[in-house]
Amino acid sequence: MKFLDQAKIYIRSGNGGAGAVSFRREKYIEYGGPDGGDGGRGGDVWVEAVDGLNTLIDYRYQQHFKAKTGEHGMGRNRHGADGEDVVLRVPVGTQVLSDDKETLIADLDEAGKRIRLLKGGNGGFGNTHFKGPINQAPRFAMPGQEGEEAWIWLRLKLIADVGLVGLPNAGKSTFLAAASAAKPKIADYPFTTLSPNLGVVDLSSGERFVLADIPGLIEGASEGAGLGTRFLGHVERTAVLIHLVDATQDDVAGAWRTVRAELDAYGEGLADKTELLALNKADALDEATREAKAAELEAAAGVAPKLVSGVSGEGVTELLREAWRLVRRQRGEAAAEHDRDSGSEGWAP
């Protein structure tokens, strides 16, 4: 299935049904009176996050979604049926943005979350609604209310605990394959990964988290070079970033600075996320070269990098356990801060 993480669609709620103008005509009822029913309400437009989806590809082939119009009222005080709603089913992590692609309307970050985007028009009143002691035979009814319409953007930001970042060909896909059961495309040329990949890391029964691999960044990505920074949104929700640097290249410090500069330029808090720095492909270096590369990178980043190899598995488990420890700490701090902000002090007798 092709990966699609953003789509522009048109949505419209249904019009309300019109009220009816009708009078009773029974033979043996001397004074019939009005009996026009009300119109039905127009259908709403909803968006719902569901499990089992990981792409917005369905919205490439259909871009217009219109809820049904409410049925018109009828005689004998019969009210029209409500119009059928439209439900947009999207992957967990989808954001709904307005037409300007900046204003956030909804963030569906939990499975089952359901939000009404547009409300259907109310049905019009039939002439029964307007009868009274003065106007006992009203000959008018209200039309249904018009529905709402809008162009919106759907943008998917994958839900993951840990994200992999680095230059193209830094070994991120190999690392993902070594760390999880995911089977990303692996080749010996840059930009092998053209769309994000997710893998579930299962270290033990109590150590399980989701790892996201995105296409590599190059210098000038924030200005559109290479694949740009379009896919960085998929690591915005992560608690920790694993920054992989190819240990076999000449300038490991320059590679680290390039990616850090693009994270800073992108914004959205990525530069402030907890980062685990790792020299990948360590199996291809001798001991002396390892120490020299690690020292060079430590001088630039200010922290000692981990030595790992996605091919041989060296250091992978240790790095993943450290990432899981940081994820738990970050999530715990976020939960505690939320409790403080909400003023929750727990139950007390």
Best CA proximity match to 34, nearest among 98, 110, 128: 128
Sign (positive/negative) of CA torsion 25, 31, 37, 38?
Answer: positive
Asked whether the beta carbons of 21 and 128 are under 8 A apart, the reply is: no
Structure tokens at 86: 């439209």
Best CA proximity match to 167, nearest among 48, 62, 248, 58: 248
Return d(Cα 147, Cα 68) in angstroms, integer: 10
pLDDT at 347: 44
By CB atoms closer than 10 A (0-12, 13-18, 19+), residue 216 is: buried
Q: Following DSSP, what letter does each residue of 170-222 receive, concatenated?
A: SSHHHHHHHHSS------SSTT---S-EEEEEEEETTEEEEEEE-PPP-TTGG
- Largest Cα–Cα distance of the chain, in whole Å? 109
CATH number of 1-156: 2.70.210.12
Return d(Cα 66, Cα 70) in angstroms, integer: 12
pLDDT tens across the length of the chain (349 residues):
568 899 999 999 999 999 999 998 888 877 889 999 999 999 999 999 999 888 899 999 999 999 999 999 999 999 999 999 999 999 999 999 999 999 999 999 999 999 999 999 999 999 999 999 999 999 999 999 999 999 999 999 988 999 999 998 888 999 999 998 878 777 666 666 778 888 889 988 888 899 999 888 888 777 777 666 778 888 898 999 999 999 999 899 999 999 999 999 988 888 899 999 999 999 988 999 999 999 999 999 999 999 999 989 999 999 999 999 999 988 776 556 555 555 544 444 4
pLDDT at 348: 46
Return d(Cα 192, Cα 185) in angstroms, integer: 7
Whose structure tokens read 């992590």? 93
CA distances from 39 to 17, 85, 139 (A): 4, 16, 16
> Which CATH superfamily is 162-341 part of?
P-loop containing nucleotide triphosphate hydrolases (3.40.50.300)
pLDDT at 29: 79
Structure tokens at 339: 């409790």
Q: Which residues of 285-315 are buried (b: 16+ CB within 10 A; e: fewer)?
A: beeeebeebbebbeebbeeebbbbbbbeebb
Helix H or strand E segment including 264: helix 252-266
The model's pLDDT over 123-154, given as tens digits with 9 standing for 90+, comes to 999 999 999 999 999 999 999 999 999 999 99
CA distances from 305 to 178, 180, 203, 273, 319 (A): 19, 22, 22, 17, 10
Best CA proximity match to 166, nearest among 248, 93, 289, 92: 248
Report yes or no on whether pTM surpasses 0.85: no
pLDDT at 227: 66
What is the pairing mode between strands 197-204 and 114-118?
Answer: unpaired
Q: Find all residues with CB under 8 Å of 241, minimum gap 6, and list them.
A: 162, 163, 164, 165, 235, 270, 273, 274, 275, 276
DSSP code, position 74: B
Asked whether the beta carbons of 282 and 319 are under 8 A apart, the reply is: no
Structure tokens at 331: 């999530």
Domain extents in the chain: 1-156, 162-341
Cβ neighbours, 10 Å, residue 166: 25
